[in-house]
Structure 1
């Protein structure tokens, strides 16, 4: 297998970027392919213990470090990994996205970009400065690039640029890289040698809420139905899967791909809501013929996406149902055997905050290719098997 290249992971969460790192040289969209072991996560850090339990269950060789990154010295992180400054090939991580997420905009401090957790971006820059990795990858929600957070985003780019890393950024749509989910995330990538990073070209195409142009030369977007095709059908549904209560009947009547707007005067439902009076995800049902909308990390009881099929309650009433863990794993392009610690809500929170595997792989693979490591690995394999 050859020597594995060390990676430091910050704000690791459920390990979406970590998984992408360790499978970077695996074939795209080949289920269960772990890759050839080009990269290895040497240390993973997070403040959330359930998330670290998930990491320990799936990354047996990685050291883990629990704590608030603002109180953790870079030397502690490197020591846990058995590394010195300049030895990490990659530093990866996604600072918690809550300060920059649209879902928090009802709070004045977030509309005005005053969330104290936003300072975690500065901590990321600090650790890059003190550990001097060969390259870094930072991931976050698209909201980080909005005008509201312009000062923070520009400070981040300026700080990384002053270190000589020539940071490049781009918002990528997960579905364009084979993930069955219309999830947009910003990636910031930089190289210690100052060379410009080129983002990977999309492999898939399809229409989204912002782009109705389809590139016929690319593979069609993976649909939710395709993602779920070979999953077992469990009957009956468990109680925590059933969408019941105040809006239970209304949710069950909404067709696939529609949301609460079905029950306004403009559609054929019951005219229970005012037009555009709720968030888009309210009572949202999956469309089996399209990728899923973004999987929510902390949904309320009426926040979708819910499955497009109804289930029967014990009294024989039809109800919508929430997504199952194996379905959420598929929507994130995670392997079926990925283990996640905690309750169902813990699972959804961890997956909803994670980087979809195939999206992360595309970025990591492009970076390793441009750094020359994939060519070197292939050359070694050619010599070994010659």
Structure 2
């Protein structure tokens, strides 16, 4: 499919241009453009920062429609990255090789996701889409950005995919970018979601990127002790504070498991209905995925939001609502609640059906997690003077980057 070029926006002053690959609905793009905003804030008028997303590309035109609706100053290219040349991206963003401050993006995680391990080709790392990592490297090699940020699922670092991962790091090292990688838990950076993602960051000058220190701490699937000097994880209930929502069509969980789901307490899943817990003895122990009939716990962060959940895959809200017959049923999360769990602005607009919206948000990078990684990179690249930092708002003037208090 040839790339489809959309209208070119007007210039946005002296902000540094960014190339966004596999942009989707724009989670990392939002983080780039709002990196100057204070953490955990989504003002209606974002603070101008040092960057602008000059061009964004993705295979899914609908996701790009969403991105364009929220970032109207970005040129979008719809098409297969394997058929989109770097020169085409540079031309669309009015850049030459070496002009871009950053290349950002998360190649589709399907080949490396744990949820795909039931397919032999994914367990054995034979998925042809894994080649999209090579396309990312190709664009970095040819566009020569000052730095890059690559995001993916944690499973990319597993032994199963070691060959792909090592090849990726080797290729980026040969380009002189000295790539550094780390798996980050979104909740440790103020995101009300226990979502793990690996980030790989490299600088053209070869200096090693230093990942930001977590600002929050708390229990997780693999954490039983944590740093009490940090802020506690943001809970789902805290995330929803002040949010007014309206019922959505089809939000109640009906069908075979609707009654069972309504009986499961917040924070529990189908295991509630096994012989070991207090519900009905309906299921064998550990016979389903953890997310089957999973309910949100109000006092904890959410589990990872999935892009394409089955009809009985959670997390579902902790509250029950009556259906037309007056029977209590669990309900699916509403779009404004999904936005809060992804730390997207409340006024973020999405195009498509409810399933389309779930897919776009489930595939996105939580904005605050992206901001944390990008804020650290911005400081280390010297666009702000770390000695004068007295808050986290970064502002770029026409001549240099400065901080305001």
Q: Shorter-chain-normalised TM-score: which range?
A: over 0.9
Question: 1:21 pairs with 32, 35, 56, which one?
Answer: 32
1:179 corresponds to which residue? Answer: 191
- On the 8 A contact 2:49/2:395 being kept in 1, the answer is no
**Relative to structure 1, is the Cα distance of residues 132 and 385 closer, same or farther in structure 2, using a 3 angstrom cutoff?**
closer
In structure 1, C-alpha distance between the alignment counterparts of 2:61 and 2:337, rounded to whole Å = 24
Question: 1:45 pairs with 37, 47, 57, which one?
Answer: 57
SS of the residue aligned with 2:384?
A: helix
In structure 1, C-alpha distance between the alignment counterparts of 2:249 and 2:395, rounded to whole Å = 51
1:382, CA displacement in angstroms? 9.8
**Relative to structure 1, is the Cα distance of residues 374 and 2 closer, same or farther in structure 2, using a 3 angstrom cutoff?**
farther
In structure 2, C-alpha distance between the alignment counterparts of 1:113 and 1:290, rounded to whole Å = 34
2:333 corresponds to which residue? Answer: 323
1:125 corresponds to which residue? Answer: 137
Could you say which structure has the higher helix fraction? Answer: 1
* TM-score (normalised: structure 2): 0.92
In structure 1, C-alpha distance between the alignment counterparts of 2:234 and 2:271, rounded to whole Å = 26
Correspondence 1:111-260 to 2 at 5 A = 111-234=123-246, 237-260=247-270
Q: 1:296-324 deviations in whole A, cap 9, x for unaligned?
A: 10000000000000011011011000000
Q: 1:244-279 deviations in whole A, cap 9, x for unaligned?
A: 001000000000000000000100111100000000
**Relative to structure 1, is the Cα distance of residues 259 and 199 closer, same or farther in structure 2, using a 3 angstrom cutoff?**
same
In structure 1, C-alpha distance between the alignment counterparts of 2:248 and 2:403, rounded to whole Å = 52
**Relative to structure 1, is the Cα distance of residues 285 and 164 closer, same or farther in structure 2, using a 3 angstrom cutoff?**
same
Question: 2:310 pairs with 277, 285, 300, which one?
Answer: 300
1:104 corresponds to which residue? Answer: 116
In structure 2, C-alpha distance between the alignment counterparts of 1:319 and 1:379, rounded to whole Å = 50
In structure 2, C-alpha distance between the alignment counterparts of 1:288 and 1:350, rounded to whole Å = 24
Question: 2:378 pairs with 352, 368, 372, which one?
Answer: 368
1:231, CA displacement in angstroms? 1.1
How many residues were matched structurally?
A: 384
Q: Root-mean-square deviation (CA), in Å? A: 1.8
In structure 2, C-alpha distance between the alignment counterparts of 1:385 and 1:101, rounded to whole Å = 41
* TM-score (normalised: structure 1): 0.96
1:325, CA displacement in angstroms? 0.3
Q: 1:138-176 deviations in whole A, cap 9, x for unaligned?
A: 000001001110000000000000000000000000000
1:36, CA displacement in angstroms? 2.1
**Larger RCO (CA within 8 A; separation ≥ 6):** 2
1:218, CA displacement in angstroms? 0.8
SS of the residue aligned with 1:245?
A: coil
